[in-house]
Amino acid sequence: MIALESVTLRRGSTLVLDRQSLEIKRGELFYLIGPSGAGKSSFLKLLYMDLFPDEGEVRVGEFRSSSMRKKDIPYLRRNLGIVFQDFRLFEDRTVYENIAFALEVTDVRAKEIPKKASAALSEVGLSQKRNEYPRHLSGGEQQRVAIARAIVREPFVLLADEPTGNLDPETSLDIMLLLKKISLKGIAVVVVTHDYDIVQRVPARAMRLKDGRLEDVRLGA
């Protein structure tokens, strides 16, 4: 589903990846751990092809970095869900409108939008908040809306950049359990975090990015 083949990526003077290879499968929850500045966000940018490798190849589904044309990028992005630490919701739209909007810009038929948006809301457990505005929600609820918006297009990959970075430990656990549940539906879920505690509480395959290398992390060690 996702593959890096001998990928090298430099950003400024930082060697983010030094000839690293990796495969992430459908239905897999994968953690990328690493200190600030290690290149975790850059790694995700490679996957949504906001950055391209200096050497090697990145594959996401059938999209290949080596043959990607600029006009293909929207097709890739339509098949990806992305969530961020700071939620990035539209403050002037309700919860429901935030989710429906993600479909309005696709070719989903207008009359199917309410059903799909409601299903995504229900999936994240927020049906009762559908008419609220983001500012009236807790951080955890806002992240749930962001996740609903990311999954409503039925992506094959979900990318999350520090999704629990602004949340307390209990709420972080809820969000990670939700992401785990989503992965079990056959989606590859990639979670970038510097919170090792959450990784131990919701265990899954984990690698650490350090000095350009991806190293296996043995949980509990």
Of 30-38, 72-80, 126-134, 173-181, the window that binds ligand ADP (rule: CB under 6 A) is: 30-38
Count of residues near Mg ion by CB under 5 A? 2
Q: Return the number of the residue (37 or 125) whose C-beta is nearest ligand ADP.
A: 37
41 lines the binding site for Mg ion (CB under 5 A)? yes
Instruction: Decide the pairing of beta strands 205-210 and 2-11.
Output: unpaired
The three-state secondary structure class of 99 is helix
Q: Does 16 bind ligand ADP (CB under 6 A)?
A: yes
Among 7, 20, 29, 34, binds ligand ADP (CB under 6 A): 34
d(CA 35, CA 83): 19
- Min CB(122)–ligand ADP separation in Å: 32
Question: How many Å is the Cα radius of gyration of the chain?
Answer: 17
Please, are residues 14 and 39 in contact by the beta-carbon 8 Å criterion? yes
Beta carbons of 163 and 175 less than 8 angstroms apart: yes
User: Total number of residues binding ligand ADP (CB under 6 A)?
Assistant: 12
Of 51 and 95, nearer to ligand ADP (C-beta) is 51
CB atoms within 10 A of CB 13: 5
Q: Which residues of 96-132 are buried (b: 16+ CB within 10 A; e: fewer)?
A: bbbbbebbeeeebeeeebeebbbebbebbebeebbee
Of 14, 122, 138, 200, which lies in the binding site for ligand ADP, with binding defined by CB under 6 A?
14
Q: Do residues 158 and 190 make contact, with C-beta atoms less than 8 angstroms apart? A: yes
Least Cβ distance, residue 196 to ligand ADP (angstroms): 14
- Write the DSSP symbol of residue 118: H
Q: Find which of Mg ion, ligand ADP, none residue 98 binds, CB within 5 to 8 Å per kind.
A: none
Q: From the list ligand ADP, Mg ion, none, pick the one residue 12 interacts with, judged by a Cβ distance below 5 to 8 Å according to partner type.
A: ligand ADP
Q: How far is the CB of 160 from ligand ADP (least distance, A)?
A: 12
- Looking at residues 106 to 165 of the shown chain, list those that interact with ligand ADP (rule: CB under 6 A): none
User: Which C-beta is closer to ligand ADP: that of 11 or that of 208?
Assistant: 11
Interface with Mg ion by CB under 5 A: which residues? 40-41
